Chain A
Amino acid sequence: MSQATNTKALSEWPLWEVFVRSKQGLEHKHCGSLHASDAQHALQMARDVYTRRQEGVSIWVVPSNHITASAPEDKAEFFEPASDKIYRHPTFYTIPDEVGHM
């Protein structure tokens, strides 16, 4: 990547992650990110960028650098212990047909 010639990298608006609730009763879902100068500004930008067609009834914005994520290299340690615990699923148990729905 060649060096930017006349940009001031520090002047870039910070990055925000945007979460939108599509309708009352559902969870907020991550839908993308955007640059904005502050939280209020980020909300307005999110409205314009992500809800031009009534995609939402509520928006959250979170500074991207406030998100702590699990690392891909920890995937095994983190998630694999659950893979051999199939007894945590209802389908692990066989119930006689005559019992009906349980």
Chain B
Amino acid sequence: MYTQSFSVPDGEQPQASAATSAASSGKVKPISAQEAALQAAFDARIDADGRIEPQDWMPEAYRKTLVRQISQHAHSEIVGMLPEGNWISRAPSLKRKAILLAKVQDEGGHGLYLYSAAETLGTSRDQMLDALHTGRAKYSSIFNYPTLTWADVGVIGWLVDGAAIMNQIPLCRCSYGPYARAMVRVCKEESFHQRQGYEALLVMMTQGTQAQKDMVQAAVNRWWWKCLAMFGPPDADSPNSAQGMRWGIKRISNDDLRQKFVDATVPQAKVLGVTLPDPDLKWNESRQHHDYGSIDWDEFWATVNGNGPCNKERLNTRVKAWQEGAWVRDAALAHSRKQALKHHKEAA
């Protein structure tokens, strides 16, 4: 679960991103003829829609952008385990519990695929985790909202994962090979996430009591606008987009993806029997798309900047898990060293 578009500089105010990106994407004078040739070969491969692999030469800004985006993506998967993990012990049946366990385990796996992809760029797992735990690294803001009822779990599957899939499918064609390959694996698994959420809601809407139906509608009302914001700021306010597109990291603009998501979701909501909480949402015959109301970007940025309802709680939970797991990591390493030493002695 993530948004390809939301790649803000870690540990900086997002307002500074325009300046940062201008600095990093601006023409940097190549220092040598050799470097110029490498840059030209890189550009040619990108232009031909080719792929870049870890050992290949790449511009420093390309590497930095990827490390930031992939590690933010990985953090999002790991932090994304928390809102739903909250409901594992309270799932309404054994079947739903097994499904939710499998889904949350998948998110952990997705985090691992992505950390591995980022590591191929020369950053270490410890460095990335340290950035997350000290609050320097960002992750998707959507996980800074609480899951108040069981219906939230269904809505996260249907809408949050639905939005994530929209974002992640174009990333399967990302110019950086290891990232693209990780995304192929993630997308295959993500489809189950969306379907299980939708089906859980469907059961409540078709077989549930009025109170349960109301619970579903309330959860949709809580999450809808936040899901639209997941696609990132409007194209006009996304200074990093052009460079991302140029590098083949990003394939479809924020607004285009958002539109795709709205158009796909409206008929699904109808089948489900819920209303999407937007009085301006209507079909536009001339555009052949749905029009929708305006998103509260102030709230979005407030959450990105640490002032969402659960930012502190999420981070504290991650740090606590990391610290309390330290003895396990150390013990495993001590055990393997001991074993290696034993083998060494026996061989001698």
* A9 B335 Cβ-Cβ under 8 A: no
Q: Does A23 contact B (CB under 8 A)?
A: no
Q: Closest Cβ of chain B: how far from A42's Cβ, in Å? A: 10
Q: How many Å lie between the Cα of A13 and that of B126 in the bound state?
A: 10
Query: Chain A's nearest CB lies how many Å from the CB of B196?
Result: 14
B105 touches A12 (CB 8 A): no
Residue B333 lies at the interface, judged by CB distance under 8 Å to chain A: yes
B-binding segment of A33-41, A85-93, A94-102: A33-41
Q: How far is the CB of A58 from chain B (nearest CB, A)?
A: 19
Contact B126 A15 (CB under 8 A): no
Question: What separation, in Å, do the CA atoms of A6 and B134 have in the docked complex?
Answer: 10
In the complex, chain A residues whose CB is within 8 Å of the CB of B335 = 37-38
Closest to A69 in B: B55
Closest to A13 in B: B333
Asked if A4 and B126 sit within 8 Å, CB to CB, the answer is yes
Q: Does A24 contact B (CB under 8 A)?
A: no
Interface range on chain B (Cβ under 8 Å from partner): 20 to 34
Q: Which residues on the B side are within 8 Å of A25 (C-beta)?
A: none
Partner of B130, one of A7, A31, A49: A7
| Pair B119/A41 contact, Cβ less than 8 Å | no
Q: Are A35 and B125 in contact (CB under 8 A)?
A: yes
Q: Which residues of B contact A41 (CB under 8 A)?
A: 332, 336
Contacts of A11 in B (CB 8 A): 126, 329-330, 333
Contact between chains at B113 and A32 (CB < 8 Å)? yes
Q: Does B243 contact A (CB under 8 A)?
A: no
Q: Does A72 make an interface contact (CB < 8 A)?
A: yes
**Contact, CB under 8 Å: A1 / B127:** yes
Q: Is the CB of B105 within 8 A of A52?
A: yes
> Could you tell me the dominant secondary structure of chain B's interface residues?
helix
Beta-carbon contact of B134 and A5 below 8 Å: yes
Q: Tell me if B14 counts as interface (CB < 8 A to partner A).
A: no
Chain B residue contacts of A15, Cβ below 8 A:
119
Q: Is B163 an interface residue (CB 8 A)?
A: no
The answer, among A7, A33, A71, for a CB contact under 8 Å with B127, is A7
Check A7 against B129 for contact (C-beta < 8 Å).
yes
B123 touches A1 (CB 8 A): yes
B328: nearest chain-A partner, CB-CB? A37
Question: Are B109 and A38 interface neighbours, CB within 8 A?
Answer: no
Chain A residues with CB under 8 Å of B67's CB are 1
Among residues of A, the one whose C-beta sits closest to the C-beta of B129 is A7
Q: State how many angstroms separate the Cβ of B54 from the closest Cβ of chain A.
A: 9
In the complex, the answer to whether B332 meets A37 with C-beta atoms within 8 Å is yes
Verify if B112 is at the interface (C-beta below 8 Å from A): yes
Taken together as a complex, chains A and B put the C-alpha atoms of A80 and B200 apart, in Å, by: 56
Scoring B57, B116, B189 by chain A CB atoms within 10 A of each residue's CB, the highest score goes to: B116
Closest partner residue, chain B, to A38 (CB atom): B336
Q: Which residues of A contact B53 (CB under 8 A)?
A: 72
Chain A residues with Cβ under 8 A from B134's Cβ?
Answer: 5
B55→A72 contact, CB < 8 A: yes
Nearest chain B residue, comparing its CB with the CB of A17: B116
Contact B126 A12 (CB under 8 A): yes
* Complexed CA–CA distance, A8 and B127 (Å): 10
Interfacial residues, chain A to chain B (CB-CB below 8 A): 1-2, 4-9, 11-13, 15, 31-38, 41, 48-49, 52-53, 69, 71-72
Using a CB–CB distance below 8 Å, which chain B residues touch chain A?
A: 53, 55-57, 67, 102, 105-106, 109, 112-113, 116, 119, 123-127, 129-130, 134, 136, 181-182, 185, 189, 329-330, 332-333, 335-336, 339-340
12 pairs, A vs B, C-beta closer than 8 Å: A1-B67, A1-B127, A2-B136, A6-B130, A7-B130, A11-B126, A11-B329, A11-B333, A13-B333, A35-B125, A52-B105, A71-B55
The 3 tightest CB contacts between A and B, nearest first, are A38-B336, A37-B332, A7-B126
